[in-house]
A and B are shown apart, each in its own frame.
Chain A
Amino acid sequence: MKITIKSVAIRPPEPPNQEREIELLKGASVADALVKFGLANPDAHVTLLNDEPVPAGERAAKAVTSGDVLTIFPPIHGG
């Protein structure tokens, strides 16, 4: 199955903003998707699955389905 990953404002040396489809096996979790995406230190990032926050501790148990959109960004403090 395919899902879309949008990474936003990611810290260097990664590119700040990306959007790409990744292929996952059926039954894959948010954590699996993050591994496949290849982001360094994914636990230090916020994830939204179809706009719903998924805390780091729940990512391994949270299944993704075909067509999902997973958004990733660092939890910047203030601006």
Chain B
Amino acid sequence: MDWAGQYLGARGLASKYLAEEMDPAADALSTGNVLIFATGPLTGTPAATGGRYVVVTKGALTGAIACSNSGGQWGGELRLAGWDMVIVTGKSDKPVYLHIEDDDAELYDAGGFIWGKSVWDTEAALKERHSDQRIRIASIGRAGETLNRYACVVNDLDRAAGRSGVGAVMGAKNLKAIAVRGTKGVAVKDPGGFETAVRAARDKLDPSPDRAGLAATGTISMLDITQAFGSLPTRNNRDVQFESASKVGAAAMAANRRTDGGTNLINGKACFSCTIGCGRVSKLDPTHFSAKNGERYKKASGGLEYESAYALAPMVGIDDIEAATFANQVCNEEGMDPISFGATLSAAMELYETGAIGDKETGGLKLNFGSAEALVESVKLAGLGKGFGADLGLGAKLLCEKYGQPDFAMVVKGQEFPGYDGRSMQGMALAYATSNRGACHLKADPYGDDFEGGPLEGKAKIVYESQNTVAAVDSAGICLFPMSVWNLNDVAAQVDAACGGGWSAERMAEMGERIWNLERQFNLAAGLTSKDDTLPKRILTEKLKSGSGKGKVAELGKMLPAYYELRGWDNEGVPTTQTLQRLSLA
């Protein structure tokens, strides 16, 4: 069977390997889980944004298939070393790390060396031991070691395969890090055709206003939009507009501070081969109370982006951009998904304010919405799995179930919401509910139609088609951001020149649909059902108080049947035999 011809690479091919290599019913933290690091055919090449890799596994947060995607430099380096994929099975009987240098790969003891250290200290220690400042490292922090359910894999200090708890799976396997040095280069099938296709795609992307906007302000400018539109989750989705949004948005990052005259934002930065450069570099206000936690936090490092800003500010009701910046730094340092951490803390704050938990459970933490002190202390505890941080490390679903208030968890399939409320963005509501990895803003593209107020009747088709497109793009080894300018023809031209195989836009879309159904089959075999294609009670029943969706709830029941029908699934959300045969899955 030609798996590469059916699944291409990265997300698609790794998902196929995962489905073949493991029993989907195995516990995510058991030896039966499989952890795959995979690149695509454009990773490590000059294709714009061609630096992406994915981590595919059964998610510790969700019990569903997880595909977590990261940029930075690590993915490109892995391909430069000549590797397409690393598959980790079983469990080491002691903590180890993997060192790859071109064709050589060796496991080293991590105990007494980097086990027990943060991501940042791990990177420094590995570069020193191997006497090479150019090696690239993907590792877990102490959150991953302590099996925090939303622990992530961090590469290059502040880029992360962030979602679904892939770092906890790595921790459960006693694998601390994968350090890579590659000097071989990446060969492509048709060098002349590849140069032509890459140049044409760059010529399309480079002058676009969308590219310029992302370069200028990063993704955090979305916060001004969701605030204006009324889809900015605030205080655990009890509101969708935050009265202090202007204090934590793009303008606040760039503004001169009254305290020291400096700015939170230092610069932008780009991942491997990226011509956009949406990444942010920030520097914490040295006079802020959180800076007392150590000199390391006063240095320039990865800054707030939209998702981290939403989760660490409006979602927890906090208007202190420096506290949010500190919390984001600790998430990078200890390897935690800032979306899930912020949304879990938000749920804990609602538990606290409604009396479901008190000082006894929190160890004295005053978990009030708006408390920057609570954010700063909580993130440190969660990163280390200490005190109430162990509870926070459960994620919102398990935390709220533990304290008898499951409806406080803003999750789908156990994964916390990104920064969009589905009551004013109905397409996003459907995208969250049907995402194979749980609530996700990156597995479909309903944004434009949602912001235009498109009719409910059209949502299923938009979500269905964009889910297929995204799955195809995720399998190529590039970022989704060029897709505001490119279409699948642009991607297919680059892919086909890179690896051959006759790729076209139509074949890419069909492959995306195949991948979506493969993931769905994995989830069904893992025990998930159509009952998991749902949203929290709040989103389904509590009407919005303000914004463009005022008076609305998520109309999932009106969209889901049409979505199942388009997918070729039965009423229980199971792919029909005809669908599976059409996609060569049966």
Mark A residues whose CB is within 8 Å of B: 6, 8-9, 11-12, 16-17, 41, 44, 46, 48, 51-56, 71, 73-79
Contact = CB atoms under 8 A, between A and B. Distances in A.
8 contacts: A8-B228, A16-B250, A41-B209, A46-B451, A48-B548, A51-B550, A76-B221, A79-B220
Given A48-B228, A51-B548, A76 B213 contact: yes
Contacts of B213: 9, 11-12, 74, 76
Interface stretch (B195-203, B312-320, B480-488): B480-488
B17 interface: no
Contacts of A77: 210, 445, 447-448, 480-481, 483-484
Closest 9 CB pairs of A and B: A53-B453, A79-B306, A79-B219, A79-B222, A11-B209, A11-B213, A9-B221, A46-B451, A75-B448
B419 A52 contact: no
Contacts of A73: 224-225, 228-229, 451
Given A11-B212, A12-B209, A53-B451, A71 B224 contact: no
B217 A16 contact: yes
Contacts of B548: 48, 51-53
A52 to B, nearest CB: 7
Contact of A9 (B250, B480, B550): B250
A3 B423 CA distance: 28
Nearest to B448: A75
A28 B64 CA distance: 53
B230 interface: yes
A76 B222 contact: yes
Nearest to A76: B222
B251 interface: yes
Secondary structure class of chain A's binding surface, majority of residues: loop
B465 to A, nearest CB: 14
A44 B452 CA distance: 11
Given A51-B550, A77-B480, A78-B219, 7 more contacts: A12-B209, A12-B212, A76-B484, A77-B448, A77-B483, A78-B480, A78-B481
Interface residues of B, number: 38
B548 to A, nearest CB: 5
B453 A55 contact: yes
Q: Which of A6, A8, A54, A76 has the most CB of B within 10 A?
A: A76
Interface in B279-301: none
A30 to B, nearest CB: 13
A79 B548 CA distance: 20
B358 interface: no
Interface of B: 209-210, 212-213, 216-217, 219-222, 224-225, 227-230, 250-251, 305-307, 419, 441-442, 445, 447-448, 451-454, 480-481, 483-484, 547-548, 550
Nearest to B213: A11
Nearest to B420: A79
Contacts of A54: 453
A79 B442 CA distance: 8
B224 A79 contact: no
A77 B480 CA distance: 9
B216 A12 contact: yes
Most buried by A among B209, B216, B307: B209
A11 B210 contact: yes
A54 B217 CA distance: 26
A7 to B, nearest CB: 10
A74 to B, nearest CB: 7
B463 to A, nearest CB: 14
B481 A53 contact: no
Nearest to B219: A79
Contacts of A78: 219, 441-442, 445, 447, 480-481
Contacts of A46: 229, 448, 451-452
Nearest to B310: A79
A8 B452 contact: no
Contacts of B217: 9, 16
A51 B451 CA distance: 11
Contacts of B441: 78-79
Nearest to B547: A51
Contacts of B219: 76, 78-79
B182 to A, nearest CB: 29
Contacts of A74: 209-210, 213, 225
Contacts of A53: 451-453, 548
Nearest to A54: B453
Nearest to A45: B451
B483 A76 contact: no
Nearest to A47: B452
B416 to A, nearest CB: 15
Most buried by A among B228, B230, B419: B228
Contacts of A52: 453, 548
Nearest to A48: B548
A20 B27 CA distance: 57
Nearest to B446: A77
A46 B447 CA distance: 11
Contacts of A76: 210, 213, 219, 221-222, 225, 447, 484
A34 to B, nearest CB: 15
B221 A16 contact: yes
Contact of A79 (B229, B305, B451, B483): B305
Interface centre among B221, B307, B447, by most chain A C-beta atoms within 10 angstroms, is: B221
Contacts of B225: 8-9, 73-74, 76
A71 B222 CA distance: 14
A31 to B, nearest CB: 15
A29 B454 CA distance: 20
